[in-house]
Amino acid sequence: MSNEFPGWHGTTIIGVKKGGEVVIAGDGQVSLGQTVIKGTARKVRRLKPGGYDVVAGFAGSTADAFTLLERLEAKLEATPGQLQRASVELAKDWRTDKYLQKLEAMLIVSDGKELYVITGAGDVLEPEHDVTAIGSGGNFALAAARGMMDSDKSAEEVARAAMAIAADICVYTNGNLTVETIKG
């Protein structure tokens, strides 16, 4: 039997860019090992640094993600209206700062025009096919959404349907969604 403390699991975040808007949706489940600790966590947030509207979703450690969101807000205040620049600056700091290097989280961010995934490896990724997903059920949600991108569904409809599919497949994902829409 392992003496290791069981890991925290349970997030699926999706970003869908379609029809002049971006929707970021996240489920509410947080699990510790095989136990659901909370089913209504809010992992998608609207940030308004200096009046600049950005939506962010996070997967990973909540405290780590909040630290990263605070850093992103500071970068956005220093470079208003420049999400790509702020994201790259955050990724550089995350990769090189000894404290930040230990943070275990990923972010999906959008200002309605741009959509990025920011990782601790120093990546700022712009997704292909205008859809991206992270977290435990991310691959399920991504595959489902990509299959719907050519349909008549809106960005929100694609995101909600993809999250429902992920929740049916991934035991670390539930159907309690937080959905934020931002227009480009």
Is the predicted pLDDT of residue 6 greater than 60, yes or no? no
140 Cβ contact list (under 8 Å, min separation 6): 12, 165, 166, 169, 170, 173
Residue ranges covered by each domain of the chain? 8-173
What sections of 46-154 are H helices per DSSP?
Answer: 62-78, 83-96, 138-148
Distance CA 72, CA 111 (A): 13
Q: Which of 92-96, 97-101, 142-146 has the highest mean pLDDT?
A: 142-146
pLDDT at position 96 is 87
Residues tagged active-site = 11
Select 8-173's CATH number: 3.20.20.80, 3.60.20.10, 3.40.50.620, 3.40.630.30: 3.60.20.10
CB atoms within 10 A of CB 19: 14
What average pLDDT does the segment 85-92 reach? 95
pLDDT band of residue 5 (cuts 50, 70, 90) is: very low
Q: What is the reported pLDDT for 176?
A: 96
* Residues flagged as binding site for Na(+): 167, 170, 173
Residue 2 pLDDT > 60: no
Per-residue pLDDT at 105: 84
Q: Please determine, for residue 115, whether its predicted confidence score (pLDDT) is greater than 80.
A: yes
Residues 87 and 78: beta-carbon distance below 8 Å: no
What pLDDT, on the 0 to 100 scale, is given for residue 64?
85
Q: What is the pLDDT of residue 9?
A: 55
